[in-house]
């Protein structure tokens, strides 16, 4: 049997079984953890992140109903739905094991077991976990596509400098620009890359769930808190924590987040004990946080705490050189998904994509190409397949010298806008449909 690159977590209170599996499993799986009590299960899941859990069905002495195993199976599937669970059961409890499979267990193994049978089931569970994980991983998260525009080149150089450090990073950009992909790239280049980055969409958290999801809770802290829950901060211990849409945190909860960041420790809901944390923080937002600070909607001290380094990710309309590479990636992804024989874009289709405004940025481009792959009847997507309305195209009718370079044309247009709006940078940026940080870069580049 080939040694799979998978993690196995065993939960069994029988010392003899633990000793036997400690000898057997590491010969076939590179990472194996074995614990005696399910009380450690949730914290171990967060720190170890196993692919498969081998879970005993009975833990309490003199009580052999299997209900303990079914309870912990439910907790695993509720909190770690992607992890496969294999049940470990005595012959008399086969009916309960079958019930466990109805509740989401991958399979069950009857004690005493045959080694080949046990290894075969664990291997199959690992392969299922790997295949489903890969299927759920968005293609654009595989790597960062770096364009050649001045603004993106500046970001690339900055990322290479800051990624190996522990500096907190704030990524600012419109929806759909790939802020999460940039966060992943920073993590990939950091000293913490050996562990997965932990991501939280702050915008999806209600006020009632905020503390529990971020900081965790203990059993009995509130109704339905039937077991300890490890929050995202503790899950990210030793790695990177990415807080997306940080600008959506209600003002009354910002103080709690600030306290955690200052003290580098969390206190779970319903508990009094402080738990130290070691995280590298990356945040992202599409909001104007300095303006929110001025309006009293975002704490100034929290803003400076998360903003050691700020990266302004330009919208796609300012990164037109990336459209071809992004399109190739998305076409490959959707051609595979929908079993289509589409190989790429026709020159006319590419030209049309590069003329679009892309107010929804990369996310809008992805949706456009998904539909085009489905509709296309040829090997190469045609302009008509894109179904792009004229209202979505940039105005490129402005007169220009045919021999004028792109850089000369850009400088001329910026100077015209500066003159027209009397140097008002806010109005100039709005007229050019670019962000203020991008305008600053252009003014510096052309010495305006």
For the domain that residue 427 is a member of, what is the CATH number?
Answer: 1.10.10
Per-residue pLDDT band for 237 (boundaries 50, 70, 90) equals very high
Q: Are both 323 and 307 inside the same structural domain?
A: no
> Which residue do the tokens 């890359």 mark?
193
303 with 164, same domain? yes
pLDDT at residue 66 greater than cutoff 60: no
Q: How many domains does the chain have?
A: 4
Shared-domain flag, residues 22 and 126: yes
Are 179 and 171 a contacting pair, CB within 8 Å?
yes
Domain termination residue (choose one: 244, 279, 313) = 313
Residues 244, 340 within the same domain: no
The pLDDT, as a whole number, for residue 122 is 93
Q: Tell me what the mean pLDDT of segment 358-373 comes to.
A: 93
* Structural domain harbouring 308: 156-313
Q: Tell me, yes or no, whether 198 and 49 share the same domain.
A: no
Per the DSSP assignment, residues forming a β-bridge with 242 are 199, 282
381 in the same domain as 301: no
Asked whether residue 173 falls in the same domain as residue 298, the answer is yes
Q: Is 419 found in the same domain as 347?
A: no
CATH number of 208's domain: 3.40.50.300
Residue 137 has pLDDT above 50, yes or no: no
In a domain, 165, yes or no: yes
Full DSSP string of 268-302: -BT---EEE---EEEEEESS-HHHHHHTTSS-HHH
Q: Helix H segments across 376-433?
A: 383-386, 406-420, 425-432
Rounded to whole angstroms, how far apart are CA atoms 179 and 174? 9
What are the helix (H) ranges across 137-206?
150-162, 179-188
**Which residues, listed in sequence order, are joined to residue 200 by a DSSP beta bridge?**
243
CA atoms of 178 and 173, how far apart (whole Å): 8
Q: Name the pLDDT band for 210 (thresholds 50, 70, 90).
A: confident
Residue 2 lies in a domain: no
The pLDDT value given to residue 227: 83
Mean pLDDT, residues 59-65 taken together: 55
Residue 258 counted as domain residue:
yes
Same domain, 184 and 294: yes
Average pLDDT on 370-382 reads 92
Q: What is the mean pLDDT of residues 45-57?
A: 90
Better-predicted residue by pLDDT, 134 or 54: 54
- Predicted confidence band of residue 288 (pLDDT cuts 50, 70, 90): very high
Rounded to whole angstroms, what are the CA distances from 12 to 50, 51, 53, 86, 329?
16, 17, 11, 12, 45
Confidence at residue 405, expressed as pLDDT on a 0 to 100 scale: 60
Res 401 pLDDT > 70: no
Tokens read off for 18: 């633990």
Among 117-131, 162-176, 371-385, which stretch is predicted with the lowest mean pLDDT? Answer: 117-131
Q: In the chain, what percentage of residues exceed pLDDT 70?
A: 90
CATH of the domain at 333: 1.10.8.60
Q: What is the pLDDT of residue 415?
A: 86
**Are 298 and 326 members of one domain?**
no
CATH number at residue 64: 3.40.50.2300
Residue 148 lies in a domain: no
Answer whether residue 400 is part of any domain: no
Radius of gyration of the chain (CA): 27
* Domain end marker among 265, 296, 313: 313
End-to-end CA distance of the chain: 67
**Does 100 share its domain with 167?**
no
Give percent above pLDDT 90 in the chain.
46
Residues 241, 118 share a domain: no
- Domain end, chosen from 271, 291, 313, is at 313
Q: According to the model, what pLDDT value does residue 228 have? A: 83
Q: Which of 168-172, 180-184, 400-404, 414-418 has the lowest mean pLDDT?
A: 400-404
**Does 140 fall in a domain?**
no
Residue 49 belongs to a domain: yes
Mean pLDDT, the chain, as a whole number?
A: 86
Q: Is residue 287 part of a domain?
A: yes
Q: How far is residue 383's CA from residue 380's CA, in Å, rounded to a whole number?
A: 10
73-132 confidence digits (pLDDT tens): 988 988 888 899 999 987 667 777 888 888 888 888 988 899 988 998 998 888 888 766
Q: Say what the pLDDT of residue 133 is.
A: 61
Query: Of 291, 257, 289, whose CA–CA distance to 173 is shortest?
Result: 289
pLDDT tens for each residue of 261-286: 999 999 998 888 999 999 999 999 99
pLDDT bucket at 217, cuts 50 / 70 / 90: confident
Cis omega before residue 152 (within 30°)?
no
């Amino acid at each position: 049997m080939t040694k799979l690159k998978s993690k196995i977590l065993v939960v069994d209170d029988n010392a003899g079984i633990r000793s036997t599996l400690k000898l057997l499993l590491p010969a076939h799986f590179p990472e194996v953890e074995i614990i005696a009590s399910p009380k450690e299960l949730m914290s171990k899941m967060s720190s170890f992140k196993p692919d498969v859990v081998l879970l005993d069905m009975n833990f309490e002495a003199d009580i052999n109903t299997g209900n303990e195993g079914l309870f912990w199976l439910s907790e695993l599937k509720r909190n770690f739905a992607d992890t496969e669970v294999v049940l470990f059961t005595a012959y008399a409890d086969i009916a309960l094991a079958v019930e466990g499979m109805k509740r989401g267990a991958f399979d069950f193994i009857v004690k005493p077991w045959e080694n080949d049978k046990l290894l075969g089931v664990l291997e199959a569970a690992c392969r299922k976990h790997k295949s489903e994980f890969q299927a759920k991983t968005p293609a654009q998260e595989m790597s960062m596509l770096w364009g050649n525009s001045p603004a993106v080149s500046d970001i690339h150089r900055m990322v290479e400098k800051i990624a190996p450090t522990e500096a907190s990073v704030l990524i600012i950009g419109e929806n759909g620009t790939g802020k999460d992909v940039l966060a992943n790239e920073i993590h990939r280049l950091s000293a913490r890359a050996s562990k997965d980055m932990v991501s939280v969409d702050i915008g999806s958290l209600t006020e009632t769930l905020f503390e529990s999801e971020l900081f965790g809770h203990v059993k009995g802290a509130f109704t339905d808190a039937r077991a300890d829950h490890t929050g995202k901060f503790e899950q990210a211990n030793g790695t990177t924590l990415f807080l997306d849409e940080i600008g959506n945190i209600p003002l009354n909860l910002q103080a709690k987040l600030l306290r955690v960041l200052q003290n580098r420790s969390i206190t779970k809901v319903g508990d009094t004990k402080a738990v130290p944390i070691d995280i590298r923080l990356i945040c992202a937002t599409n909001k104007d946080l300095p303006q929110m600070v001025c309006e009293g909607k975002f704490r100034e001290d929290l803003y400076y705490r998360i903003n050691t380094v700020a990266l302004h990710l330009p919208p796609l309309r300012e990164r037109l050189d990336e459209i071809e590479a992004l399109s190739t990636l998305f076409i490959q992804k959707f051609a595979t998904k929908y079993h289509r024989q589409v190989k790429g874009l026709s020159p006319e289709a590419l030209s049309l994509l590069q003329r679009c405004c892309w107010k929804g940025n990369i996310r809008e481009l992805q949706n456009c190409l998904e539909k085009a792959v489905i509709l296309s009847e040829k090997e190469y997507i045609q302009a008509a397949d894109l179904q792009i309305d004229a209202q979505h195209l940039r105005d490129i009718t402005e007169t220009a010298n045919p021999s004028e370079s792109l850089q000369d044309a850009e400088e001329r247009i910026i100077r015209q806008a500066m003159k027209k709006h009397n140097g008002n940078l806010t109005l100039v940026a709005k007229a050019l449909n670019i962000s203020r940080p991008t305008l600053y870069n252009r003014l510096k580049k052309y010495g305006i």
